[in-house]
Structure formats: C-alpha cells, structure tokens
C-alpha cells in the first residue's frame, strides 16, 4: 500500500490519535525510507550521513576568510545578484533594480548598508556567513537566512 493510499484511509478531519499516526508514518518514511520500497536503491540517506553533510559548512570568522571566499565574487539568488568589492562597496541587482552600498567587517560578522539606487538604504549588522563548495549560507542580523551561489564575476 502506498503512502498516498494510507493517507486516503483517514477521514478529512483528523483527531489527535490519527494525526499522531500520520506524523509517525511521515517520520518513518523520512528517516528510514518506506518499508514497502526497501529494495529501492534510492532510499533516503541515513540520519548520520545527513548530519555529516550538514557539518561541511565552514563558518567565515575573519576578514581574511571573507575576502578569500566572498570579496570579488558574485553572490546569486533567485531574486538578486551582489558583489562585495575590496574597497568596501557592494553593487548588484535586487528584483531587477540596481542596488549599491557599503560593507565592513566587525569582530566575526559583517555589516552592510545597501539599497536600491536613489531610493534609500538600510543597515544590517551582525550578519554571519558560512561557505560550502560554491554556496554561501547567509544569516542576517534579524535571524532570517538565505543561500546564494558563489560565482566568479
């Protein structure tokens, strides 16, 4: 019986015990793979392998590391492109608008003041960044996060 067939057996309004069964079924499938498909070679990776992959991110803690990993390269997301220049300026686009600003290193984080050209800017300090291969994981000062692809200019 497939997972979808199992879910269809439940009434449209789940009471607490049934909801608990659904959550348990989802957890079992997510962690160990579906028992109906145990001979499937594309099984979900074991939690230990997933945890090991998560530790491959390297937190950037110094200006030298930031300069080597980020400065002079283009950080690209689905809605933006940004380049941190060695002179402390940054340029790029956000949702099709040109943006520019400044950045500076502060202890083990970076700060940035950036905005759409001729429309004002906003300052954000306490940003952290971690890198893995060609990816940058950025956590803003407010705690929100995004992942960007690191590309050569």
pLDDT tens column, 56-93: 899 999 999 999 999 999 999 999 999 999 999 999 99
CA–CA gap between residue 38 and residue 20 (Å, rounded): 23
Same domain, 138 and 106: yes
Q: Residue 4: its pLDDT value, please?
A: 43
Same domain, 146 and 75: yes
Q: Residue 57: its pLDDT value, please?
A: 95
Same domain, 23 and 96: no
The boundaries of the domain holding residue 78 are 58-152
pTM exceeding 0.75: no
> Could you say which of 14, 30, 54 is where a domain stops?
54
Cross-strand pairs, 80: 94
**118 confidence band (pLDDT: 50, 70, 90):** confident
Same domain, 42 and 108: no
Angle at 106 between CA 104 and CA 109, to 5 degrees: 95
What's the token pair of residue 7?
């879910």
Cβ atoms 112, 120 nearer than 8 A = no
Same domain, 84 and 138: yes
**29 confidence band (pLDDT: 50, 70, 90):** very low
Rg over alpha carbons for the chain, rounded to the nearest Å, is 22
Instruction: Choose the weakest-confidence range: 27-41, 50-64, 84-98, 125-139.
Output: 27-41
Cross-strand pairs, 101: 90, 114
More confident residue, 136 or 45: 136
CA–CA gap between residue 130 and residue 66 (Å, rounded): 9
Where residue 87 sits, what CATH number does that domain have?
2.40.128.640
> Could you say which of 12, 37, 54 is where a domain stops?
54
Across the chain, what does the average pLDDT equal? Answer: 76
Same domain, 44 and 69: no
Same domain, 68 and 136: yes
**53 confidence band (pLDDT: 50, 70, 90):** low
Instruction: Choose the weakest-confidence range: 44-53, 131-140, 144-153.
Output: 44-53
Nearest-CA neighbor of 75 among 54, 61, 60? 60
Same domain, 16 and 82: no
Number of domains in the chain: 2
For residue 54, pLDDT over 80 is answered with no
> Could you say which of 13, 30, 54 is where a domain stops?
54
More confident residue, 152 or 10: 152
For residue 105, pLDDT over 50 is answered with yes
What's the token pair of residue 22?
């659904």
Same domain, 49 and 32: yes
Same domain, 73 and 12: no
Same domain, 36 and 81: no
Same domain, 82 and 136: yes
């Amino acid at each position: 019986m497939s997972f979808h067939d199992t879910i269809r057996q439940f009434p449209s309004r789940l009471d607490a015990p049934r909801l608990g069964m659904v959550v348990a079924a989802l957890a079992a499938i997510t962690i160990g793979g579906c028992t109906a498909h145990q001979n499937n070679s594309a099984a979900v990776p074991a939690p230990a392998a997933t945890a090991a992959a998560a530790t491959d991110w390297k937190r950037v803690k110094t200006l030298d590391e930031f300069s080597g990993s980020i400065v002079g390269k283009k950080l690209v997301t689905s809605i933006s492109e940004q380049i941190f220049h060695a002179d402390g300026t940054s340029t790029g686009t956000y949702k099709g608008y040109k943006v520019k600003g400044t950045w500076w290193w502060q202890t083990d984080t970076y700060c940035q003041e950036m905005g759409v050209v001729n429309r004002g800017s906003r300052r954000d300090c306490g940003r952290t960044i971690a890198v893995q291969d060609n990816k940058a994981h950025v956590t803003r000062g407010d705690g929100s996060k995004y992942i960007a692809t690191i590309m050569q200019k």
